[in-house]
Amino acid sequence: MNKYLLPLFMLILFIAESVFTDLIAVPFSSDNHIFVPRFVLLALTFITAFVNRRYGILYGFAFGLLHDIVYTEVIGIYLFAYPLFAYLLAKVFKILHNNVLVVLFMGLLAISVLEFYVYGIHTLIRPTPYPFQEFTTQSLLPSLGVNLFAAILLILPARLFLETLDVEHNEE
């Protein structure tokens, strides 16, 4: 039963990404702001930090493919990015201690790099979807704010859940 909790947790966060954009009104925002929740990438950061690299990369492949199938027209954008970020985060967590502040910072850094990566891909596919300054002020910064708030809310319960799950996997 416990081996199904982590995939269920990830699936709930995946669904919460789309539900968040439709149902949650962010205060102090205008209609021009675009909030992109990256709960799955945050969870991949937590998994990589608190469980291990193998689970981070595995779930990165699975949910990257799922994200590409459901949300994008091009297969491979997130399928490539999520496992790569999990791998790079694992390398960083070997150097730095994976305490809560480092994990929060690295999660936000991964979200920032992912947003620039997706903006770059969209710029290659459709030249100048919108100017870079407009991207940073109307999409990147609001998205980072929402994801920082979500990361602060999720990190301690996720850490306890993932460390408990890791202990149970090691006992099996």
pLDDT in tens, 107-163: 999 999 999 999 999 888 887 668 889 999 988 999 999 999 999 999 999 999 998
25 or 52, which is more confident: 52
Predicted confidence (pLDDT) at residue 1 exceeds the cutoff of 50: no
Helices and strands: H and E segment counts in the chain: 7, 0
Angle between helices 53-71 and 5-23 (to 10 degrees): 40
Closest CA to 44 of 1, 95, 81: 81
Question: What is the reported pLDDT for 25?
Answer: 67
Distance between CA 50 and CA 111 in Å, rounded?
18
- What share of the chain has pLDDT > 70, as a percent? 90
pLDDT of residue 74: 83
Question: Within 10 Å of residue 29's Cβ, how many Cβ atoms?
Answer: 13
pLDDT at 18: 87
The whole-chain average pLDDT of the chain stands at 89
Element (H, E) at 13: helix 5-23
3-state secondary structure (DSSP) of residue 71:
helix
